Amino acid sequence: MKVSCLQMNMLFEKPDENFSHAKELIRKAAEQGTDTVLLPETWNTGFFPENDLESFCDNNGQRVKNEIGSLAKEYNINIVAGSVSNIKDGKAYNTAYVFSRDGQCVAEYDKTHLFTPMHEDDFYEKGDHLCRFELDGCSCAVLICYDIRFPELTRTLSVQGLDFLFLVSQWPKVRTAHILALTKARAIENQMFVANCNSCGIAGKTVYGGNSSIHDPWGERIAHAGEEEEIITADCDTSILKNIRETINVFADRRVELYKY
């Protein structure tokens, strides 16, 4: 599977401009021959409008489904549509949507770990479910930014066999070393591809660090962005997964009877 991360510099509190730009980047990646594209976290609003948040949000993902889902069908690609600030049942969520090649929404995930240091939990509701799905015959999952700091979440998703973990984020430049270390570690310990699409630019007082990356199951970084807006692509050879898992069979060697909190 050829995977592309669209490292987008979005405009704070400007959903119309951001939708237009996201679609431009998706078209560009599709025309370059990718199979699956990723957008960053809360790309419709930036992270995140504290004043009148609801007015900037999508409504139950309707706009994402209409405008981004249609591009998946038009270009015959999979789209992990990052996440959007989103209103559901009168409450705001940080919601990721995933579209298959026929434009169908095959997954919806609300961020479960909200970033309390920036008071995300004061404005958004916590998600209450995990999310696994299939793209092109591969087992996949999506997480959102702060989620990656909780290895028990990733392991819960991966114990049944996960080929790809898609991480969408608004990760600040000051902690770039953390996101690179965490994504590499999750790839190695769970023997899967990890693709992280981060944002860049400035929202409010925060500078976001870019450095989107794709790691293979050995932990090798097979694509890496800089700090400015760009598209990175890696051809992820899933045929290597079987050999890796047979060579170092960490899942068979687990001692679950000892893992207590």
> Which of 57, 131, 145, 197 does the annotation list as catalytic?
145
Distances from the Cα of 241 to the Cα of 185, 192, 237, angstroms: 16, 7, 8
Mean pLDDT, residues 41-54 taken together: 96
User: Is 258 domain-assigned?
Assistant: no
Considering the candidates 13, 65, 105, 111, report the single residue annotated as catalytic. 111
H or E segment and range at residue 69: helix 69-75
Residue 169 lies in a domain: yes
236 is catalytic: no
Q: Is 111 a catalytic residue?
A: yes
Length of the chain: 261
pLDDT given at position 91: 97
Which conformational region is residue 124 in: left (phi greater than 0), alpha (psi within -120 to 50 degrees), or beta? beta
Active site residue 145: yes
Report the distance separating Cα 158 and Cα 165, nearest Å.
Answer: 9
Which residue matches tokens 């790839």? 187
8 A C-beta contact, residue 26 and residue 71: yes
pLDDT, one tens digit per residue, over 112-124 is: 999 999 999 999 9
Q: Quick check: 52 pLDDT over 90? A: yes
Percent of the chain with pLDDT over 90: 98
Q: Which CATH number goes with the domain that contains 126? A: 3.60.110.10
Domain count, the chain: 1
205 pLDDT higher than 90: no
Q: What is the pLDDT of residues 113-152, one digit of tens each?
A: 999 999 999 999 999 999 999 999 999 999 999 999 999 9
Distance CA 176, CA 178 (A): 5
Q: What is the pLDDT of residue 203?
A: 87
The pLDDT, as a whole number, for residue 178 is 98
- H-run or E-run covering 92: strand 91-99
- Does residue 9 lie in a domain region? yes
pTM exceeds 0.95: yes
With a pLDDT cut of 70, the percent of the chain lying above it is 100
Encoding tokens for residue 251?
A: 């899942």
pLDDT-derived band of residue 190, with 50, 70 and 90 as boundaries? Answer: very high
Give me the domain span that covers residue 211: 2-250
What pLDDT score does 160 carry?
Answer: 87
Q: Is residue 255 part of a domain?
A: no
Catalytic member of 41, 57, 131, 200: 41
Within its chain, how far is the Cα of 50 from the centroid?
22
- Average pLDDT (180-206) is 96
pLDDT exceeds cutoff 90 at 204? no
- Tell me which H or E stretch contains 138: strand 138-144
Q: What is the mean pLDDT of the chain?
A: 97
